[in-house]
Structure 1
Amino acid sequence: MKHLITATGIVLATQAVAETPVLTIYTYDSFATEWGPGPAIEQGFEESCGCDLQWVTAGDGASLLSRLRLEGEGTKADVVLGLDTNLTAAARDTGLFAQHGVTADFDLPVDWTDDTFVPFDWGYFAFVGNKGEEHPTDFRALAESDRRIVIQDPRSSTPGLGLLLWVKAAYGEEAASIWDGLKDNIVTVTPGWSEAYGMFLDGEADLVLSYTTSPAYHVIAEEDQSKVALPFDEGHYMQIEVAGVVGSSQQTELAKDFLAYLTSDAAQQVIPTTNWMYPAVLPEGGLPEGFGDLVTPDTALLIPEAEVPTARDAALEEWRAALSQ
C-alpha cells in the first residue's frame, strides 16, 4: 500500500506540473538578468497567474525581431518584450502580433493609442561620460573632438538604431557628413548595449551611447556621482519600449493578462531601479529620488512610426558608407 500511495503521489504531482500553463516571453538579455526587472516581474505575475513564466533572451531588441521573423508562426514565443517605436512598423508588417486589449493611464511624452503594442518604459538616448571632463555639446563638436566613443550596431541593437535615427532626425540630409566626421571617434561597434557600457566602465572609451537615465543607476545603486549624460543642443531622440502578444500563441489570454500586469503599479515601480528607464505608467510613489537631477532635453526628437522604415534605410546606408571608408 505504501508503494501504491507513493506512486499515486508521483502521478498526481506529474499531472499538476503538466497542467501548469507556461508563458514564454522573448526579451533582451539585460531585462531577464538577476539585476534586471525580469525576476521581480516574473515573481509578481506568477503569484496571481497560476502559470510558469519563462524568459527566452535574444541579444537586443532588433535581434528579437530578427528571431521572430525567422521562426514565423512556428515561434514558441507568447509575448515579445523589448521592441521599440523604431521597430514597431517592421514588427507590425510581419502580421505575427495580435491586439492586446490593455487600457492604462500612460505617462508618456506622446499620446499612445496603439492597439497592438503596449509601452512599458521610455527614455532619451544620450552619450554618457565621466564628470569633470570637458565634453562636446553637439554632434559636430563631438566629431571635431578627440573623444573616443563606443556605440551599438543598429542592425542588432535598439540603441544603435536609435543613434542613427537621432542623427537623421537632427540633421536630415546632412547626416552623412556627421557620420563622416564621427567615424574616427568610434573605438568599436558592439552587438548590444551591455557590451558597450562595459567597455566604457573599463576605461576603453571616453563616452558610450546610452540614456539620460543611466547616471541614476550609479547614484542609486553605487552611490557614485561620477557619471553624467551629455546634453546635446540638437535635442535627444526618444525611445519607447513595448511588448506585444504573438498571434499564434496558445496562451493568448494569459499573454494579455501579462501585458496588463506589465502596466500595473506593481510592475511599473520596478522599472526605474532595475531597467533604469522612466516607467510608462507613473507609479503611485512617483520616481526614485535619484531621477530628480537627470538631464531633461529641451528638444525631444522622434520620427513617426510610418516614416521610420524610409529614414532607417537611408540612415543605415549613410552609416555603412562612412564606416567602410
Structure 2
Amino acid sequence: MRRRTFVRGVGGGSMLAVAGCLEREDEDDEPEEAQPEDENTLRVVTYSSMVTGETPAGAVLAEAFEEELPDAEIEWIVPEAGIEHYAQRARLEAEMNADVYLGLTPAELVFLDEAVSADVFERLERERLERDGRIRADLSFGDPDDRALPIDSGYVGLVYDESVLEAPETFEDLLAEEYAGTVLAQDPRRSAPGRAFLLSTVAAYGNEFVDYWEGLRENDVDVYERWTDSYVDEYLEETRPMVVSYTTDRIAANAADRSMERHQIATPDGQGYENVEGVAVFADTGRRELAYEFVDFLLSSQIQTEIAIRNAQFPALERQYLDLGTEFTAFARQPEQPVRFTYDELHGNLTGWLEEWGEEFGEDVIDDRPEIDDTGTD
C-alpha cells in the first residue's frame, strides 16, 4: 500500500542575510531535523508552489513515483530560505538531511559556490539515467562540475491588465508617468522571478542598473519579498495593474478561470530572462539509487507534461517526447530575445549585484505578513 507523502518546512534567512551568520554555530539558528527512519523515504527539497495550492505538481509527482515504486515514499522539504539554508549547513559542517534538490536555478548554484567550498551536490552520474538524452540542446546550467540537470524553464517578464494599461514596449517606458504606481516587483535576494528581473536590468543597463532601479523607485514601484506576496496577495486582489512574473502565467490563469484581460504579457525591449530550473543530488545522500531513479523519473514524458502544465513552465524535453495540447501552446509565450547569463558570467558577479541592490533598495522591500511562511525560490 502506498504510504502518505508529507511536507516539512525548515527555517532560514534571506540569500544575503544568511551569509552574515555562517561564521558561528547556534542551535537556535540551526534546529536539528529528524532523519526519516525508512531508507525508502526520499527527502526532496523544493519550493512552496511545487507542493501547495489547488493542483500542485508535487502531489502528482509523488503519487506517480510511489505508484512506480510501491515501496518508496517522498518527503517534501520546503526551506524558508531556499538554497541559503544548505549553504549555512555546509559552512557549519552539518548534515544536509536531504537527498534531492528540485527547482535549483543557475543563480542559486552560483550563490552556493560563492558562499561555501564544500561539495553540497555531487557530480551527476549520468550513466545511471536512461532518459538523459531527451533534454533540449539549448538548456544547460553551464556548470563545470555538472551537478544539475534541467527539468524545466520559464521566462520572466511583466503581466498586466490591458483594461488599465498599454504594454510597456521598453524598460525606459516603466519610468514614464503613465506607469507611476503601477508595478509590483519582488526582492531579488529572496525571489527567483525577482532575481530574474534584476538580471534583466543588469543585461540592459550594465553597471548603471542601480540608476535604473532608482528611477523605478521614483516612479513608485512596490517591491515585495516574494512572488507569492506580489502576485497572489496583491495582483490577484487588483491592488496594482502590473506585476513581474512569468510569460507563461496565462496558462495558469486560463486553468483557474481568471481574467485573461488581466493576464496580458509584456516583454520590454522584446526581452525576457530565462529561468532554468533543475534537479541535483546531495553529495551526502544515503539513498543514491532511489535519488537517481527519481531524477530519471522527472524526465519521463508524463511527468514533464504534468510539470509544464501545472507549474506553467516550458518542459526540458525535446518536442518529440511531449504532447502538451493546444491550450499550453496557445497561452505560453516566449520573448523575441531571451536573456540568460551563463554560469561563468554569474560567478564572481551575482553576489555583488545582489549586495549592491540590497544596500540601495533593501529597506524599501515590503513584508507586511505576520510571519514568514514561503520559500525563497518563488
TM-score, normalised to structure 2's length? 0.75
Check whether the contact 1:217–1:276 (CA below 8 A) recurs between aligned residues. yes
Instruction: Check 1:180–1:272 CA distance in 2 against 1; reply closer, same or farther (3 A cut).
Output: same
Distance 1:108 1:177 in 2: 36
| Correspondent of 1:160 among 189, 194, 211 | 194
Question: How far apart in 2 are the matches of 1:173 and 1:187?
Answer: 21
What is the RMSD computed on CA atoms of the aligned residues?
A: 2.3
Structure 1 partner of 2:20: none
State how far apart, in whole Å, the 2-side matches of 1:294 and 1:18 are.
42
Which structure is larger by alpha-carbon Rg, 1 or 2? 1
Residue 268 of structure 2 aligns to a residue whose secondary structure is: coil
Q: Which structure dedicates a bigger proportion of its chain to helix?
A: 1
For 1:232-247, list aligned pairs within 5 A. Answer: 232-233=268-269, 235-247=271-283
Contact 1:23 1:255 in 2 (8 A): yes
In the other structure, the counterpart of 1:90 is: 111
* In structure 2, C-alpha distance between the alignment counterparts of 1:85 and 1:148, rounded to whole Å: 30
Within 2, Cα distance between the matches of 1:41 and 1:231?
Answer: 32
Contact 1:85 1:240 in 2 (8 A): yes
1:255 aligned partner: 291
Q: Distance in 1 between matches of 2:45 and 2:66?
A: 17
CA distance, structure 1, for counterparts of residue 243 and residue 193 of structure 2: 11
CA distance in 2, matches of 1:261, 1:231: 34
How many Å apart are 1:151 and its aligned residue?
A: 1.6
**What is the TM-score normalised by the length of structure 1?**
0.86
Matching residue's letter, 1:265: S
Q: CA distance change for structure 1 residues 113 and 260 in 2, over 3 Å: closer, same or farther?
A: farther
Residue in structure 1 matched with residue 49 of structure 2 by the alignment: 30
Aligned-pair distance for 1:88?
A: 2.0
Report SS of the residue matched to 2:160: strand
- Equivalence for 1:106: 135
Mean alpha-carbon deviation: is it higher for 311-320 or for 80-89? 311-320
Q: 1:301 aligns with which of 339, 342, 346?
A: 339
Q: Which amino acid aligns with 2:95?
A: G
**1:268 CA displacement:** 0.4
Please tell me whether the aligned partners of residues 248 and 331 of structure 2 are also in contact (alpha carbons under 8 angstroms). Answer: no
Deviation at 1:148, TM superposition (A): 2.1
| Separation of aligned partners in 1, 2:57 and 2:219 | 33
The code of the aligned residue for 1:171 comes to Y
User: Quick check: 1:315 aligned with 2:333?
Assistant: no
Following TM superposition, by how much is the alpha carbon of 1:247 offset from its aligned partner in structure 2, in angstroms?
0.8
Change in 2 beyond 3 A, CA 1:256/1:229: same
CA drift at 1:53: 0.5
Q: 2:182: which partner in 1?
A: 148
CA contact (8 A) 1:106 1:112 kept: no
2:281 and 2:230 map into 1 onto residues whose CA distance is 30
2:166 is paired with a residue whose SS is coil
The residue identity in structure 2 corresponding to 1:310 is G
In the aligned structure 2, how far is the partner of 1:262 from the partner of 1:149? 35
Q: Structure 1 94/301 Cα, relative in aligned 2: closer, same or farther at 3 Å?
A: farther
Cα 1:310/1:163, change in 2 over 3 Å: farther
Q: Is the 8 A contact 2:106 2:141 kept in 1?
A: no
Deviation at 1:163, TM superposition (A): 1.4
Q: Tell whether 2:89 aligns with 1:71.
A: yes
After superposition, what is the alpha-carbon deviation per residue over 1:97-119, rounded to whole angstroms, capped at 9, x for unaligned? 11332313113644567531011
SS in 2 for 1:141: helix
Sequence identity of aligned pairs in percent?
A: 26
Deviation at 1:318, TM superposition (A): 4.1
State yes or no: 1:39 paired with 2:68: no
The match for 1:225 is 260
Is 1:125 aligned with 2:150? no
Evaluate the alpha carbon distance shift between residue 19 and residue 112 of structure 1 in structure 2; reply closer, same or farther with a 3 A threshold: closer
